[in-house]
Structure 1
Amino acid sequence: MTPVVELVEHAPSVSVALPDAVGRALAAGDVLDTAPDPYTPGRWTLRAGSKVGAVAVAVPGADEPFTVRVVPKTPIARLFFLLGYSLDPKGGWRDGEVEVAEHRDLLPALAHAVERQVDRALRQGLLQGYRATEETALVVRGRIREAEQIRRRFGAALPVEVAYDEFTTDIAENRILRAAIERLLRLPGVPRDVRRRLLHQRARLVDVTAVVRGQPLPDWRPTRLNARYHRALRLARAVLEDASAEHAPGGLRIDGFLFDMNKLFEDFVTVALSEAFRGSVHTCRFQDPHHLDEASAIRMKPDFVLYGPDRRPCAVMDAKYKAEKRGGYPDGDLYQMLAYCTALGLGEGHLVYAKGNAPHAAHRVRHAGIVIHQHALDLDQEPSGLLGDIITIARHMTEA
C-alpha cells in the first residue's frame, strides 16, 4: 500500500492499491470521491473535489498512516490572501506578511501561519481578563449564592457557595489559541521545525484550560483590549471550525484538515464586495433568505443581495468556484440566477466565477428582458488586481 498519495483538486481520478477498510473509511468520510476500481480488485479510484489539505487514515498494524494530500490549483500565497481577506478585510494578510511561499502543501503553510500569528499575539505576554467563576470555598469571596447555599448546605455556615470574577489568563481568547495549536499538533504532515515552534507556543499556554474535543468553542468578541490577538484568533477559528476531518468510521481513525475552496471563494467574493460598497447608501446581506413562489414554500438564499436606500433589492450575486470549460459555464447557474432575479424583481443578475476565458459576458433572457452577467476572477493575479476586479463587478451591479 502506498503510504502517501498526492492529488490535485478537480483533477482526473487515480487508481491506488488500498485495503478495503481504508477505502471505505475515505468514502464514508466525505473527503474524496472514492469507489472500488471495477477492473482491478484491491484498488480504489480516488478523485479530489473542491476540498484541499491533508487527511490520514490510521491503519491497524501499519507503521505509518495512509495519507492523502490534495494540492490546490491556486498558489498557496494567493489562497492565504483570500482566507485572510475574508476573515478580516482590514487586517487580512498581504503578500510577504505570512511567509508561506516556501510551502507547496496547504497544511504545512497553515501550521506555519498559525504559529507565526500566535507568536505575534503573545509577544507582550498572555492576555488577561475577567472570568466568571462559581465554586465552593471556605472563605467568602465575591458574593454568596444564597439559593445554592440553602439547597446544598441546609443552613450550615461553611463551606460557602460563592460567585466572583477572577482576573486570569484562563480566558476564551487563550483557550481558542491553545485549541488550534493542539489540533495542528495532531495532524499529519506538519514539518518538524514548525511542530517544534508549535510545542513552544503550547508551553506558553500551559496554564490555560484545554478545550475538550467535541465541545463548543468559547465565545470571544473583538475589542480594543484584545486587538493584538485578532488575526491569530480568526485564523485559529478557521482551523477549528468546519474544516476538520476527524472521525472513526468502521474503527479506523481519520484525522486531517481540509479547506473547502467553494466556501473560501464565496466568502472572499462576498466580503470583498461588501467592502467595495462600504460608505455608500447601499446595504449588503449574505445568504439572505427569500422565496421563489407566492406561497413562500420554495426557499432560496443568494450569496449576496444588495439593497438600496429604500431597503429594496437592487442587485443579486452568486459566487461559483468553477472554471469555464470548453463548452462554457454550466447552464444550471443561469437558470438559478434567473430564478433569483424573477423572485426579487430585478432586471439584472451577476454570477462570479473563479476563472474564465473572458472577464465578462452578458446574456439577455428571451421574453423576460432580464440580463445575466457572468464575471471571471483570475485568482493567479496579484491581490491588487483581484480587488480591482471586485470593484469593477461592484460598478456593474449599480449601473442597472
Structure 2
Amino acid sequence: MTIDKALYHLKEYETTTGVVLSAESVAQLRKTFGAVLTLRPGPRETWDVTASSYVGHIELSDAIFHIRPKLKVETLWNWLTWAYDISSLRFQPPVMSVGELTGNSEWLVLFFIKECFAIWRKGLRAEYEQQEQAIGEVRGQLRVAPTLQKWMKQEYRFVCAYDEPTWQVKENKLLYAGIRHMVRKRYRNEEIGRELEKLLRLFESVEKGQMERVTLPVSVSEQVAELARVRITRLNRQYARALSWLTLYWKMTQLSTHEGNIFCDSFILDMNELFERYIARRLEEGLRMYGIEVQTQPRYWLAEANRLRIIPDLILKNRSGREIVLDAKYKTRTERSGNPDVYQMLAYMTARSTSSGILLYAAGLERVDKIRNTDKKIYQWSLGIDEWTDRESQDERFERIVQHIVSMLEEK
C-alpha cells in the first residue's frame, strides 16, 4: 500500500513551520540528519524545521524534505563538474532546474550506467596473477621437482606456474559495489532498475561468478576512501568518468539508512564541501601553468607535543618554496562574520610561518588586513556569487584571482 507523504520545500538556512512528524521520523532525523536539518518544537505537536548548508532530498516513512540551494542550476552544475572532474559535461547541464538536480539521484545514476556500459563494451580492465596448478599439458613454466613427485605417485600431470588474467581489480570491484548499492533503490524511471539489473548480471558473469564473492568495504565512507586512492593512468583512463560519477553518488547518498521498517532515503550534497572542492580544482587548473602547487587539506600542529591540530583548506606553493594559505568559506562575508575567520587564518599562518593568507568567500565585501607588529597580511576576497551570477562572470573573477595569487607569490 502506498502511503501519502507530506512534502516540505526549503532553501538553505530557511525554516518551515507546522511540520507533522511521527516519533520514528523525529528520531531518524536527529540521529542521521542532525547536521542537515534542525528540529525545534512548534505549537500543537508540530515542529519548526531549519535547513543548514546542505541541499537535496530526504525521504522518511511519513514525510519528504526537499532542500534547494540559493544558487541557480547552472552555477551548481558548474561547481559539481569542476569538483568531481566531469569536464565533458562542464558546459552542458543535463537538468534544467535546481529541483531536478537536487530532487533525486536518478540523473546521476543514468550517467553512471552509461559509463559502465561503455567500459563493458571496451572490455573490463584485467591484471595477471601467477597460479600454480597440476595440469595435463605444459603451460608457462614447468616446476620440475613437484612434477616428478606427482609422477612417482603415478599422477601423470605437470605442475606449472603461469599467469592467468583476473578481472577482480580495484576499479571493477568499486563499480560492482556501486551497482549493487544502486540496484536496491527505488526509481521513478523503471528503466533505470532494469539497466542496473543488466549491468549486475554482466559483472557477475566474469570469472564464473567470482565477482559475487568479492569482499567490499562495509561503509560508504570506506567506499569514498577507496575511490580517492584510485589513480587514473593510461591503463585505466576509460574508468575516469564512471569513478567520478560513483564518487559523487556515494557522497550524496551516504546518509541513506534502512533500519527495521523505517525507510530513510537521501540525496544530500554538502555545499561547504562542494565549494571547497570547486575552489581547489579551479585553482589547480589555473595555477599549474605558473608552476604553483595546490596542496589540499594538509594537517599541521600549532602547539608543541602535537596538541593543537589545524587543517587549512589549501596551501599554494611556488617552485621557490614561497607559500600562501587559503581557506574557502561558503558564505557571504559581513563585518560581523569576518573576525572569527581572521583569527582562524592567523592560526594557520602562524603554524606555517607564512606572511600571506586568503579567505575566499562565496560573496560579500572585500578587504585586506595588515596584522599589527607583524609582516602578515590577510586578504578577504569574494567570488561575488549569488542566484543571478552567470558562469562567464565566475570565470572572469577566477582568472583575476589566479593572477592576484601569481603576483603575490612573485613579490620579493
| TM-score category (smaller protein) | 0.7 to 0.9
Do 2:252 and 2:267's aligned partners in 1 also have CA atoms closer than 8 Å? no
| 1:143–1:164 contact (8 Å) kept in structure 2 | yes
Q: Distance in 1 between matches of 2:154 and 2:57?
A: 58
What do the CA deviations read for 1:302-333 (whole angstroms, capped 9, x no partner)?
111122323343x11000111235x5534211
**Corresponding residue number in structure 1 for 2:10:** 7
Letter in structure 1 aligned against 2:355: G
CA distance, structure 2, for counterparts of residue 52 and residue 156 of structure 1: 71
Query: What residue is the counterpart of 2:52 in the other structure?
Result: 49
Contact 1:285 1:304 in 2 (8 A): yes
Q: Could you say which structure has the higher helix fraction?
A: 2
Alpha carbons 1:188, 1:256 under 8 Å: kept: no
1:289 aligns with 2:299: yes
Aligned to 1:67: 64
Q: Which amino acid aligns with 1:257?
A: F
Asked if 1:370 is matched to 2:376, the reply is yes
Bigger mean CA deviation after superposition, 18-27 or 375-384? 375-384
Q: Does 1:33 align with 2:37?
A: yes
What TM-score does the superposition give when structure 2 sets the normalisation length?
0.76
Scaled by the length of structure 1, the TM-score of the pair is 0.78
1:317 is aligned to 2:326: yes
Q: Which residue in 1 is equivalent to 2:111? A: 116
Which residue number in structure 1 is paired with residue 348 of structure 2? 340
Query: Secondary structure at 1:355's aligned position in 2?
Result: strand
Q: Is the 8 A contact 2:299 2:311 kept in 1?
A: yes
**Distance apart, 1:202 and its partner CA:** 5.0
For residues 281 and 73 of structure 1, the distance between their equivalents in structure 2, rounded to whole angstroms, comes to 35
**Alpha-carbon distance in 2 for matches of 1:252, 1:109:** 19
Aligned CA distance change for structure 1 residues 286 and 160 (closer, same or farther; 3 Å): farther
The Cα shift of 1:106 comes to: 2.9
Give the 3 Å change call, closer, same or farther, for CA 36–87 of structure 1 in structure 2.
closer
Q: Distance in 1 between matches of 2:341 and 2:261?
A: 40
Equivalent-residue separation in structure 2 for 1:161 and 1:376 (angstroms): 69
- What do the CA deviations read for 1:51-87 (whole angstroms, capped 9, x no partner)? 2222222x4xxxxx53222222223333232122122
Equivalent-residue separation in structure 1 for 2:103 and 2:15 (angstroms): 24
Contact 2:135 2:157 survives alignment (8 Å): yes
Task: Report whether the alignment pairs 1:214 with 2:218.
Answer: yes
Which runs of structure 2 are paired with 1:245-284 in the superposition (5 Å)? Answer: 245-248=255-258, 252-284=262-294
- Residue type matched to 2:288 in 1? R
Q: 1:131 to 1:348 in 2, by over 3 A?
A: closer
- Report how far residue 206 of structure 1 moved: 5.5
Counterpart residue type for residue 181 of structure 2:
R
Instruction: State the alpha-carbon separation in 2 of the partners of residues 394 and 81 from structure 1.
Output: 18
Moved more, 176-185 or 347-356: 176-185
Offset from partner CA, 1:15-64 (integer Å, 9 cap, x none)? 311111111111100353333515332x222222122222222x4xxxxx
From 325, 328, 339, the equivalent of 1:331 is 339
Which secondary structure does the structure 2 equivalent of 1:105 belong to?
A: helix
Q: Partner of 1:383 in structure 2?
A: 391
**1:238 aligned to which of 217, 234, 248:** 248
Whether the 8 Å contact between 1:9 and 1:73 is mirrored in structure 2 is: yes
Match of 1:128 among 124, 127, 131: 124
Q: SS at the partner of 2:256?
A: strand
Is 1:177 matched up with 2:186?
no
Alignment correspondent of 1:148: none
Whole-angstrom CA distance in 2 between matches of 1:295 and 1:87: 37
Cα deviation digits, residues 171-201 of structure 1 (max 9, x gap):
5434433443443454466545655655565
Alpha-carbon separation, structure 1, partners of 2:53 and 2:158: 56
1:77-88 correspondence to structure 2 within 5 Å:
77-88=74-85
Structure 1 gap segments, 5+ residues each: 60-64, 146-154
Letter in 2 for 1:396: H
Instruction: Tell me, in whole angstroms, the C-alpha distance in 2 between the residues paired with 1:185 and 1:75.
Output: 31
Distance 1:322 1:158, change over 3 A: farther
Q: Which stretch shifts more, 215-224 or 233-242?
A: 215-224
- The separation in 2 between residues aligned to 1:143 and 1:102, in whole angstroms, is 61
Task: Identify unmatched segments of 5+ residues in structure 2.
Answer: 144-152
Which deviates further from its counterpart, 115-124 or 209-218?
209-218
Q: CA deviation at 1:384?
A: 3.9
**Higher alpha-carbon deviation: 136-145 or 23-32:** 136-145
Contact kept, 8 Å, 1:187 with 1:257, in 2: the verdict is no
Q: Distance in 2 between matches of 1:106 and 1:184?
A: 18
Distance 1:344 1:234 in 2: 32
Q: Which residue of 2 aligns with 1:150?
A: none
Question: In 1, distance between residues paired with 2:193 and 2:111?
Answer: 12
Contact 2:302/2:308 (CA < 8 Å) preserved in 1?
Answer: yes
The Cα shift of 1:301 comes to: 1.5
